[in-house]
Structure 1
Amino acid sequence: MISKACEKDIDRIMAIIAETVAEMKRVNNHQWDDTYPTRGVFLADIEKGNLFAYRESDGNLLGFVCLDTHQPEEYVGAAWKTPEKCLVIHRTAVAMNARGQGIGKQLMQYAETLASEMNIQAIRSDTYSTNQAMNIAFQSLGYQFTGHINFLGRPLQFNCYEKLLK
């Protein structure tokens, strides 16, 4: 159900982004907007092989996650608990009509599987301080809060999370 996204997926990905941004605005979370993330960002993720899609058996894309080992320079300010090599979750979203079905959790578990396959012992990520859904998701999945950073020119801080793998 989870495989690498391809260029033909871009319209569906951008449709999920549009509905996610609308929902974020509705709940006063301004992490993403009309300027980020863009089609170009996702096409670059696809080209690098870092964007993974959750699909139904008929191929319908319901969610995605970008995973790689690149840590933004802003991460220097967080109190990470592990050595530098880690897997980083950059962008993830699930279609509005598919939320509450465990797809986001499966995407996050896929990150753990991929990290294990790469012999990486930790996963890091960040989310906007007002993104209640992602803050709760990280905590419920065993991620530890490691500090705040400023990112993407946003007025509020981002919360950093890290999960150590066994």
Structure 2
Amino acid sequence: MISKATEKDLGAIMKVVDQVIEVMHAQGSFQWDESYPLVSDYQKDLNRDELYVYEELGAILGACTISNRGHEEYHLINWSEHDLALTLKRLAVSPNARGKGVADQFIEFAEELAHKKNIPHLNTDTFAENLYAQQLFKRNEFRFVQARIEDEGSELYYFEKNVT
């Protein structure tokens, strides 16, 4: 079940993040590491009332930020709509829960939030090397918007979904 995260959830969220980082690195994606995402990132999300967890039998198996704000470079991206979108950030699902549709449930939940807020789009991004995230977005009918090279040379792919 998906619900708003609380302060007491941060430790469990970071355990999931550590597991995800290990799996991502094994798969050749280095989008996340010891410098991102940090507990302080999730604390900010929590303070903004934008952090959600997926919990099953008392265990947190995933976390996702669903925000009214995009990342700092989002104004440079050729979105269909710049101001009317919810952004999926820092989606993490425990490797123990992979294949159970947890990430898909976060996307469905974000779509429901967008409908309630009368917001027509979801947007998100991932590194070019993160094939699993790209498959997730395509499976959930996100459209590729563009690629962009970051200052440190990493290539990011941007995706959006019309939810109206």
Task: Trace 1:66-145 onto structure 2 (pairs within 5 A).
Answer: 66-145=65-144
Which runs of 5 or more structure 2 residues have no equivalent in the other structure?
none
TM-score, normalized by length of structure 1?
0.94
Q: Which amino acid aligns with 1:140?
A: R
Indicate the residue corresponding to 1:3 in structure 2.
3
Tell me the CA shift for residue 83 of structure 1: 4.7
Asked if the contact 1:53/1:62 (under 8 Å) is kept, the reply is yes
Indicate the residue corresponding to 1:35 in structure 2.
35
Counting matched residue pairs gives 164
TM-score, normalized by length of structure 2?
0.95
Indicate the residue corresponding to 2:158 in structure 1.
160
Indicate the residue corresponding to 2:53 in structure 1.
53
Q: Which amino acid aligns with 1:162?
A: E
% identity of equivalent residues: 30
In structure 2, what is the Cα distance between the partners aligned to 1:154 and 1:116? 36
Asked if the contact 1:128/1:159 (under 8 Å) is kept, the reply is yes
CA deviation profile, 1:42-83 (whole Å, cap 9, x unmatched): 111112110011111x32111111011102231233221235
Structure 1 stretch displaced more, 131-140 or 82-91 = 82-91
RMSD value over aligned CA atoms? 1.3
